[in-house]
Structure 1
Amino acid sequence: MKRFGSLLLVSIFAGAITLGSYKLFFEKSNYKILPSNTKAPVFTTSYTPTSPAGSGINEVDFTTAAQKTVDAVVHVKNLSIVSSGPRNIMEFIYGFQGEERPQVGIGSGVIISADGYIVTNNHVIKNASKLEVSLNNNKTYEATLIGTDPNSDIALIKIDPKEKLPYLAFGDSDQTKVGQWVLAVGNPFDLTSTVTAGIISAKARDLGKNQSFIQTDAAVNPGNSGGALVNTNGDLIGINTAITSQTGSYVGYSFAVPSNIAKKVVDDIMEYGNVQKGMLGIKYIPANSPYALEKGLNEIDGVYIDGVEEGMGAYDAELKQGDIIKKIDEIDVHGFANLTGYLSTKRPGDKVMLTIDRDSETLMIPVVLKERQTVVLPVMGIEVQNLTKDDTKRFRTKNGVKIVGVPETYRGYGLKGKILIAVNNNEIKDKQDAKNLFGAITRYERTSITMINEKGERERLIFQ
């Protein structure tokens, strides 16, 4: 037992001597002696570049943007008269004069000039018999409708103040980036001057109407429509327009019309009285349609051209079926919303440069945009075009539009080829007039259309 204890002590002592010798003579030190006036070393824990502005929300200043914006955003009241519909089948067949009652809708608007021009949403002022605008200082004015574009959901109204008003300048929405801080300013639930903050969640978001929206997670609720989406400099980069929600209230994301589109619509209304749209004249395959899925076209990064319209810019530039649009000017095209969003800022006669993938070869092709010869009317979806000289002689009318396309819903009525001359007793002069008049009706009211057939006879149809 004593022998075992002696061996154990010898082993421990030998191990200590060996370890000490190694530490003293072989192991290198991992420290440095610093002079007393030298600052402590700084070690980076990541190779990701750091932002000089910092990464915390508390380091972002929203106050300047909020102060610049709240006085330029107004409260819009839409006073309208609505009628109740027919209560039974007999009233539907023989007609019924419904009871009229007043209705008040609310929304927001953005002052864009010191003399009182205000941009808002078309759905905010639709069917208004009277428009009322309240400023942030509680002054109230009656507003006049200058013009509207139902397709972009943008409207321009005007008040006549005695003093100059604070206003917002349009920013460049093409320069916005996903992840950028933004503020939404408006009047949700009739609460004036409400500011919410968020980031841009996505760009060129398509909600199924071939439109292009900025998606944000800044809280937007009913009443915010027509209000401002601004960056941290206070530049107007969008007009808040829509939310997608089963409850009708904010659920985490909202949508705004990009400022470049809104500005172009406003400029067109002020200069021409209507919106001038420059078109490529291409036919495309929707990404998730059965045909696209069958042919594998849904996996294409870009816009696949399925055909070109004769007489349009794409036809003149000799674009072909199978070409894939990858870029328009300096804008990358990943889907149809990227393309339509940029084209919405252009007019007929403008030239754009397309980057095309044709049989794995990259081509740069200039295209001059043109005005579309046909237009699809809102609500009913009928496609019409202006009358030719032969049409005016054949049908003996100078006014009206020719029906050249009919959706499946109305194909049993024999509409194609006839001349549409009136809707709800309002005379139609041309395709733009028809578009505006059909844009003013709703899906829930009775609509009558008047046509001229090939025999020169007038026909009148009523749709519910």
Structure 2
Amino acid sequence: MLNMDRVRIRGGINYLVIGLMMLFLSAGEPLRAQMSKEFSFSTTVEKTMASVVSIEAIKIIKARDMRQFHLFRDFDDSEIDEDIPSIGGGSGFVVTKDGYILTNFHVVAGAHQIKVSFSNHKAYDAKIMGLDSLTDIALIKIDAKGLKPVKFADSEKAKIGDWVIALGNPLGLEATVTAGIISAKGRDINIVGRDLSASTRGYAVENFIQTDAVINPGNSGGPLINTSGEVVGINTAIASRTGVYAGYGFAIPSNLARHVMEDLMTYGEVKRGYIGINIGNVDEDLAEYLRLDGVKGVIVNNFVPGGAAESSDLKIGDVITHVDKKRVDRANELQAIIAGFGPDEKIILTVVRRGNTRKIPVTLKERDVQRKPITRSTERSVKKPRLGLLLEDRIKEQESWNPFGASRNNAALGVEVVGVKRRSAAAEKFIQKGSIIESLNNKPIHSVRDFRNELDKINEGDILLLRVTSRGNSRFVALRYWGE
């Protein structure tokens, strides 16, 4: 009897489903049209597309630079005596009624001539008003009035999973629209500033919005908008091994873009404040050593001489968890937040020091200077298989910069890493040959003997803390020590 009741119930459900399907079909076009309208972005796209432009940037390549590209020659190199125009493309969007347009630095930098076209095929010559290579943002202007500027969204309020729409001119296809969601926020993909000098590259700001909306070459500089038609980002890069879309694109957040735009419009350059610190991410071992309640914040690895932090109460080894009330979990997040402040502005850093939380005020300064490098020297070596390190003493040159003041026995601070064993603890933490180990468990190291003495005090299973300098940049490295 029970089994028969189940059959009757199951049969009743099937009839109900079939009935609902017949009701939907009998409703005809009105119901289907309503459902289609709810899932359409057509209205949003129509009111935004008038603000989107196609950009053609003409750059001149010198004849002497072209010779290396002629793989199959039917003539002598001397025949190449004229400069060659190179045409690149991208996108942009109107930000003021009188012709200011925002795009990417890499779209227009170095261009001898820039042409801008709208979806109605009106075309204008444009000139560069300001460039910021550290964020890959450029501001250009055309001679026009009565244009329709975009509206900016607050990118901080955009959430992972929100719908977004990419507008632009990918692969030469004008006025193309693709849609997707915000897949992630705060991405650092190490792409901005690749062509900059090593001393400048470290100041590049990356805090991308990641999206699965299709983005291809030519989309660069175009807007990423929300379903209200407001700009949440500037389409900038793709993750691809082929040069075309392979699943994810990246956009500069609108809050950062708007700050850069306003400075470029006012000053022709970005007035950016700096703390003057070298920072690193916190991993699980470092969090345990520093007694943090979780993996969070960024650690202060070093001060840049003359920087704002040097004259504050901030200390090397502090972990910064907040700037004002904004939480910080990654180094690129801190850089992006600070990029929104100007020189002489005061910020409040929340830091954890030896397990205690404190507030530290810092007044930002202009771009800081680079520290002087310490020259390398060689003497005797000792192999420490427990860590996978081969170390050598160093001799301090006169007037070398020493963050701990006067040295002992004329020895430079630190020992040099001249070898790293494969699959060792040091290799797993990316300690490289040529690095300098300056301290072990916050004890300054002046020689291999100092290092050995401190290492002998550590028990198996303990976490040890190294301060490592490589190519002028310092960081703290925490790793677990398992003895021989």
Normalising by structure 2, we get a TM-score of 0.60
Structure 2 residue 317 is the aligned partner of structure 1 residue 322: yes
Give the structure 1 partner of residue 98 of structure 2: 115
Deviation at 1:286, TM superposition (A): 5.4
The answer to whether the 8 Å contact 2:164/2:181 transfers is yes
Give the structure 1 partner of residue 141 of structure 2: 158
Superposed, which structure 2 residues align to 1:53-202 within 5 Å? 59-84=38-63, 85=65, 99-161=82-144, 163-202=145-184
Deviation at 1:297, TM superposition (A): 11
Give the structure 1 partner of residue 349 of structure 2: 354
Deviation at 1:406, TM superposition (A): 11
Deviation at 1:296, TM superposition (A): 9.6
Secondary structure at 2:247 match in 1:
coil
The answer to whether the 8 Å contact 1:64/1:233 transfers is no
Deviation at 1:87, TM superposition (A): 5.1
Give the structure 2 partner of residue 243 of structure 1: 238
Return the alpha-carbon distance in structure 2 between the equivalents of residues 158 and 243 of structure 1.
26
Q: Aligned match of 1:332 in 311, 327, 331?
A: 327
Deviation at 1:271, TM superposition (A): 1.6
Return the alpha-carbon distance in structure 2 between the equivalents of residues 271 and 309 of structure 1.
29
CA 1:108–1:79: 2 relative to 1, 3 Å: same
Return the alpha-carbon distance in structure 2 between the equivalents of residues 257 and 407 of structure 1.
39
Between 357-366 and 194-203, report the one with greater CA deviation.
357-366
Answer with 1 or 2: which has the greater Rg: 1
Superposed, which structure 2 residues align to 1:214-363 within 5 Å? 214-285=209-280, 300-363=295-358
Deviation at 1:57, TM superposition (A): 10
The answer to whether the 8 Å contact 1:286/1:292 transfers is no
Return the alpha-carbon distance in structure 2 between the equivalents of residues 367 and 180 of structure 1.
35
Deviation at 1:354, TM superposition (A): 1.7
Which amino acid is 2:51 matched to? A
Deviation at 1:300, TM superposition (A): 3.8
Return the alpha-carbon distance in structure 2 between the equivalents of residues 57 and 257 of structure 1.
31
Q: For structure 2, which runs of at least 5 residues remain unmatched after alignment?
A: 2-34, 69-76, 193-204, 377-399, 401-484
Between 56-65 and 101-110, report the one with greater CA deviation.
56-65
Q: Deviations over 1:134-180 (max 9, x none)?
A: 0111000000111101111100000012x401110222112211111
CA 1:57–1:358: 2 relative to 1, 3 Å: farther
The answer to whether the 8 Å contact 1:81/1:101 transfers is yes
CA 1:57–1:345: 2 relative to 1, 3 Å: farther
Which amino acid is 1:354 matched to? L
The answer to whether the 8 Å contact 1:277/1:348 transfers is yes
Normalising by structure 1, we get a TM-score of 0.63
Which amino acid is 1:73 matched to? V
Q: Deviations over 1:209-233 (max 9, x none)?
A: 5521111111100100000011111
Q: How many residues are paired up? A: 319
Q: For structure 1, which runs of at least 5 residues remain unmatched after alignment?
A: 1-15, 17-55, 89-94, 375-382, 385-403, 409-416, 418-464
Deviation at 1:86, TM superposition (A): 7.5
Q: Deviations over 1:224-278 (max 9, x none)?
A: 0000011111111111101121110011111111111111111111222211111
Between 238-247 and 278-287, report the one with greater CA deviation.
278-287
Q: Deviations over 1:350-372 (max 9, x none)?
A: 22222211111122222221112
Return the alpha-carbon distance in structure 1 between the equivalents of residues 128 and 269 of structure 2.
13
Identity %: 42
Deviation at 1:307, TM superposition (A): 2.3
Q: Deviations over 1:71-104 (max 9, x none)?
A: 101000011221242758xxxxxx9986421111
CA RMSD of aligned residues (A): 3.3
The answer to whether the 8 Å contact 2:182/2:210 transfers is yes
CA 1:86–1:74: 2 relative to 1, 3 Å: closer
Superposed, which structure 2 residues align to 1:325-404 within 5 Å? 325-374=320-369
The answer to whether the 8 Å contact 2:239/2:247 transfers is no
